[in-house]
């Protein structure tokens, strides 16, 4: 169901791009915006592992508890062993990145090693390996490219309105263009958020299967949520917040409605509803 929802949301995002492009500059407008967004996102996709690890000053490890847990998960499930990094952060969290399983990176903060049991750590890293296995970095890059193209089209529409340009045909509708400028980027953000949430649910389910016990991850999520509320991660780049297993950003209430992460309570409920693996 989560996979179907992801495909449906990505289709909706593509249709939104086509519709916005037709209002601004027809097919050529949509194609131009898509190419521009694609060029910008290609770099982040191709070098995502190096960029994010450097951003958080990660140190690669080839031994120790974290490395051994990831190694056990990979050997048990026939997965390619990723590079493993520890981030010098006291706030417990973890993420995975890399353009494909052969170039994958999994990372965890120093804080996560201090509060989780080995079984809970296994649940967390199995979640991250599920992201790697299902190529969620690729899916996220595609969604980001289309969403970025829609934002470009919105800016193009603003310039067209300012200088009196836009579509030359008689079907041009100034009101429709104004609405597109306002609503299209918002709609793209909401769809992008929905895709991210859907992939988190899928990674939870996949991670529970990889580690063999859904309660490992459920218990870990409870601890991580509580710790991040009490001590949010410092100097977080919002562009990378969606990568972490729980949101590293502070804030609740209305702000949480627009989070890229689904509610931890619902994630735990779904995990506990899974039968023994």
Mean pLDDT of 124-151: 80
- Band the pLDDT of 209: cuts 50, 70, 90: very high
> Per-residue pLDDT tens for 58-108?
999 999 999 999 999 999 999 999 999 999 999 999 999 887 888 899 999
Q: Which residues are annotated as a binding site for Zn(2+)?
A: 127, 131, 200
The parent domain of residue 226 ranges over 2-273
Q: What is the pLDDT of residue 203?
A: 94
Higher pLDDT, 154 or 133: 133
Q: Which residues are catalytic?
A: 128
Three-class secondary structure of residue 1 per DSSP: coil
Q: Percentage of residues in the chain with pLDDT exceeding 90?
A: 40
Percent of the chain with pLDDT over 70: 68
> What is residue 169's predicted lDDT score, i.e. its pLDDT?
47
Query: d(Cα 214, Cα 106) in Å, to the nearest integer?
Result: 20
Structurally, how many domains does the chain consist of? Answer: 1
Residue 194 banded pLDDT, cuts 50, 70, 90: confident
**How far apart (Å, rounded) are the C-alpha atoms in residues 109 and 90?**
7
**Residue 115 pLDDT > 80:** yes
Alpha-carbon distance of 75 to 263, in angstroms, equals 31
* 195 vs 134: CA distance, rounded Å: 14
Residue 135 CB partners (closer than 8 Å, separation 6+): 100, 101
**Average pLDDT score, the chain:** 81
Q: What mean pLDDT do residues 220-235 have?
A: 91
Residue 183 has pLDDT above 90, yes or no: no
Q: Are 177 and 143 in contact (CB under 8 A)?
A: no
| Dist. CA 198–CA 99, nearest whole Å | 19
pTM: 0.75
The kind and range of the H/E element at 94 are strand 94-97
């Amino acid at each position: 169901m989560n996979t179907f929802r992801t495909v449906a949301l990505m289709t909706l995002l593509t249709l939104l791009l086509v519709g916005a492009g037709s209002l601004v500059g027809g097919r050529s407008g949509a194609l131009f915006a898509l190419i521009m967004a694609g060029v910008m996102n290609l770099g982040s996709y191709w070098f995502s592992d190096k960029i994010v690890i450097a951003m958080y000053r990660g140190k690669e490890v080839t031994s120790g508890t974290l490395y051994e847990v990831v190694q056990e998960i990979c050997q048990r499930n026939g997965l390619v062993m990723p590079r493993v990094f520890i981030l010098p952060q006291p706030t417990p969290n973890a993420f995975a990145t890399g353009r494909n399983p052969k170039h994958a990176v999994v990372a965890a903060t120093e804080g996560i090693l201090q509060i989780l049991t080995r079984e809970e750590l296994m649940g967390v890293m199995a979640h991250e390996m599920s992201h790697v296995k299902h190529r969620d970095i690729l899916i996220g890059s595609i969604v980001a490219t289309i969403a970025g193209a829609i934002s470009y089209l919105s800016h193009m529409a603003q310039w067209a309105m300012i200088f009196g340009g836009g579509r030359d045909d008689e079907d041009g509708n100034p009101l429709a263009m104004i609405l597109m400028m306002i609503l299209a980027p918002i709609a793209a953000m909401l769809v992008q958020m929905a895709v991210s949430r859907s992939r988190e649910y899928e990674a939870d389910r996949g991670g529970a299967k990889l580690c063999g016990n859904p309660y490992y991850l459920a218990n870990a999520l409870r601890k991580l949520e509580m710790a991040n509320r009490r001590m949010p991660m410092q100097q977080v780049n919002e562009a990378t917040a969606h990568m972490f297993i729980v949101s590293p950003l502070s804030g609740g209430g209305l702000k949480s409605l627009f989070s890229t992460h689904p509610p931890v309570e619902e994630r735990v409920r779904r995990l506990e509803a899974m039968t023994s693996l």
